[in-house]
Amino acid sequence: MSKSLELVSFGHESPALLLVTYLISQNIPASYAYTEGDLNHQVLLDDPSCLQEAAFIVKEFVDNPTDPKYQQRAWETEQQIFREAREARQSVFPKISWSMFQQTPVTWLIMGICVLVYLSSIAGGFIWVRENMMLLPWSLLVETGQWWRTITPAFIHFDEMHIIFNLLWWWLAGKGIEQKFGSSTLLLIFIVTAIIPNIGQLLMSGPDFGGLSGVVYGIIGFVWWCGWLRPQWGLALPNYIIGFSLIWLVLGYVDLLWVSVANTAHTLGLVCGCAIAWCYVFFTQNTLKRR
């Protein structure tokens, strides 16, 4: 790497920074440095091949540092930096708008219900949640006919990390499904991957469980198999996410996790999601052949 060359030094910081900004705006790599001495604010040229052009601009600046063009260029550069920073921030933390709700209403609806149930629970309403939303023993469930309880455990979370972890995965995979295939498809996947895993977990270990994780494994399985069977659809998750999900599933079975895990619900959710994806691909393929 070439060593930076000193172009000029000033006794104050302002003109040095103004000149650096102008040089950069002219596509000349420049930087600022502070040193000891009277003229301790240096303007450095980071690319010696631009020395001739840079020297000309420096001479112009030294002869007339109050020329409005320098202030104008500095203001334009500052506005561009602010604009790029704002765009970068919005790409990481997208502004929540009504259009986002319109594009993915089911994704937001499920998240909203989970948050509402969780906040109600920690505010003193857990007894109500338990008595009205958690599953009953199978014989009592059949006797009472309260079949909504086969879905509602998906909305119940027991601590902060539990709900954050599940909603993060739901958001990552769910919104992609809804944007690609529509709200009805995501709602169907939610219902199937809530009911079957919840019933399976009930029969295996009883009614004391809750969480969206069975559904989360369902949507991960759906995206995974759609990406595998029909990569041209453009619906996929990074391999490390799929790998992490499968490793977490195995760790749950060998009892190496620090939390109690509904292994049956996770497994059935994954199987259901993969099966729905296969049916979706098969149905789509046959529909296209008949046309």
Of 257, 176, 253, 162, nearest to 213 by C-alpha is 162
Torsion of CA 112, 113, 119, 124, to 10 degrees: 160
The answer to whether residue 266 is catalytic is yes
**Helices 239-253 + 213-229 axis angle, to 10:** 140
Q: What is the spatial distance between Cα 88 and Cα 262, in angstroms, rounded to a whole number? A: 39
Q: What is the spatial distance between Cα 12 and Cα 29, in angstroms, rounded to a whole number? A: 21
Instruction: Tell me if 29 sits within 8 A of 47, measured CB to CB.
Output: yes
Q: What is the spatial distance between Cα 248 and Cα 254, in angstroms, rounded to a whole number? A: 10
The answer to whether residue 213 is catalytic is yes
Q: Is 81 exposed, middle or buried (0-12, 13-18, 19+ CB in 10 A)?
A: exposed
Q: Which residues contact 271 (CB under 8 A, 6 or more apart)?
A: 221
Torsion of CA 155, 159, 160, 166, to 10 degrees: -40
Active-site amino acid positions: 213, 266
